[in-house]
Amino acid sequence: MNGANAFRLVPGGPGWASRGASGPFTMDAGWLPFDPHPSKPVFVPPPGAVDAHCHVFGPGASFPYARERKYTPCDASKEHLWALRDYLGFERNVIVQATCHGADNRAVVDALRTSEGRAQGVATVQADISDAELRELHQAGVRGVRFNFVKRLVETTPHELLAQIVRRVAPLGWHVVIYFEAAELPGLYGFIASLPTIVVIDHMGRPDVSKSVDGPEFGLFIRLMREHPNIWSKVTCPDRLSKSGPPGYEDVVPFARKLVDAFPDRVLWGTDWPHPNLKLHMPDDGGLVDFIPRIATTPDLQKRLLVDNPLRLYWNQT
């Protein structure tokens, strides 16, 4: 909105706190809405910084949640996302399609088209999507497709169908985002290694951080990245992985730092706002930003993580 008296949404201010789900939907009992009072981070991201993993939910009254969804979240609008971006000191977003919307990407596309070029997206598509629909997604700013192997969130899709999708999107220059849990990596290793595009792994492959960072489980993930230079990782979601908990998420630091140090040109970072399906606590988004200098410990590493890498992958800037 423009004008001297225009309402400006600010995290923690009037209109910020979640009001549940709109339209014909009711937010799940026990759902944790996003933080109503996120702190202002101490760490100042470098100019051009990108929040490279975040979501929009609905609003349900405008963009209905999928019939096949495994959860009904609170609404989390694009206006909230833009306000959080500015408040945390970022300049751009990468919006990842959430499973509560299935393969209906309209909420993401709407956000991309109204972002003034400051957001790109990752979609969920089915094998029978038309070429015209793929072109429409690309024109809106979609640059990747997401495959989810977390069984509590989605039904499993055969690898053959996923390979068909990859063949369809590869000519557009898209990459593949894959979400799985560490115990599933041995069974997925061959499939992931076979993909011809850039592959971005969500949340470091969800390691069990109670195990050694130098142990065989995380070692397999390191091997996957070392042997396949097309594979990237998001060093995201300490709140999902930590056993020690907030505010420091101390047990996650060695895992994320190891990836940033070993593969500084193939890592991404994002808030994961509005943090779907958390059960124990809702993270402070400002605190998550202050986690960054603990895993990317120099200005050079911070710039690669937050600026250079996402701009190269999503905006084709070198």
Of 1, 102, 7, 16, the C-alpha closest to 274 is 16
Instruction: Please indicate whether residue 272 is annotated as part of the active site.
Output: yes
User: Taking a C-beta distance cutoff of 8 angstroms, is the pair 55, 76 a contact?
Assistant: yes
Active-site entry in 75, 202, 272, 285: 272
Beta-carbon count within 10 A of 258 CB: 18
Q: What are phi and psi for residue 8, nearest 5 degrees?
A: -120, 115
Q: What is the torsional sign of CA 151, 228, 169, 79?
A: positive
Residue with tokens 């979640």: 18
Burial of 240 (0-12, 13-18, 19+ CB in 10 A): middle
Q: Are strands 267-268 and 199-201 parallel, antiparallel or unpaired?
A: unpaired
Catalytic residues: 272
